[in-house]
Amino acid sequence: MKAKGKKLVSLFLVFSLVAISCTTIKTPGQMRIEPKKHGTNLVIQKKDGRQISGELIAVKENSLLLLDSESGADVSVDIKDIKVIKMKKSMTRLGMGIGCVAGVLTGLGFAKALSDLHDGIDSQWYLILPLICAVPLSFLGGIIGGFVKADKTIQIEGMTDSEIKDAMDKLRKKARIRDYK
């Protein structure tokens, strides 16, 4: 390739890089946009036997506002009509913790086996091997825990007014709009 062709290709690459970087730069206004927070998913069983499932938008004084998962419409459910509220809770943190403990124990087992095999090893291996094993196993445990969901059930029927108020305060923390008045 001649020198003129090399200069032309170089110039094209420089302009391409400038064009790509200009389109991907975020303006200060774009950087301040907060990610959209979602409320927890609830399954509400009413006293008449019907079930409503959807995202918790807000907790009002005497009702819950849900985004219905089937119709996509906002549904207001009166607290007096609710029998049971079920929430799906992710087990990611628990899975990561179990994986980390399993990794440390596995690493200590490997270090002990190496020590027995080679008539003693440096003490640094008793620190390094548990760390090497703990990182991938805690990551794997977090992934598995993310797929596992545990149901948390709140039995509204039969509660006193103060117990219902406490339960609604806990639910308010999990709503999309937390400070609804």
- Domain containing residue 75: CATH number: 2.30.30
Identify the pLDDT of residue 17. Answer: 64
- What Cα–Cα distance (Å) separates residue 68 from each residue in 37, 75, 134, 143, 160? 17, 6, 41, 28, 28
Domain membership flag for residue 134: yes
- What Cα–Cα distance (Å) separates residue 132 from each residue in 96, 122, 140, 148, 179? 15, 16, 13, 25, 44
Highest-confidence range of 11-15, 26-30, 35-39, 122-126, by mean pLDDT? 122-126
Domain membership flag for residue 152: no
Instruction: Provide the residue range defining the domain that includes 47.
Output: 41-82+157-172
Q: Which two three-digit tokens encode residue 26?
A: 């975020």
Determine whether 9 is exposed, middle or buried from the number of CB atoms within 10 Å of its CB (0-12, 13-18, 19+): exposed
Domain membership flag for residue 61: yes
Based on the domain organization, do 77 and 96 belong to the same domain?
no
Q: Which of 26-40, 49-63, 76-90 has the lowest mean pLDDT?
A: 26-40
Q: What percent of the chain has pLDDT over 70?
A: 77
> Number of folded domains in the chain?
3
Identify the pLDDT of residue 32. Answer: 53
pLDDT over 80 at 110, yes or no: yes
Over residues 97-106, mean pLDDT? 88
Domain membership flag for residue 25: yes
Based on the domain organization, do 141 and 102 belong to the same domain?
yes
Domain membership flag for residue 151: no
Identify the pLDDT of residue 20. Answer: 66
Domain membership flag for residue 181: no
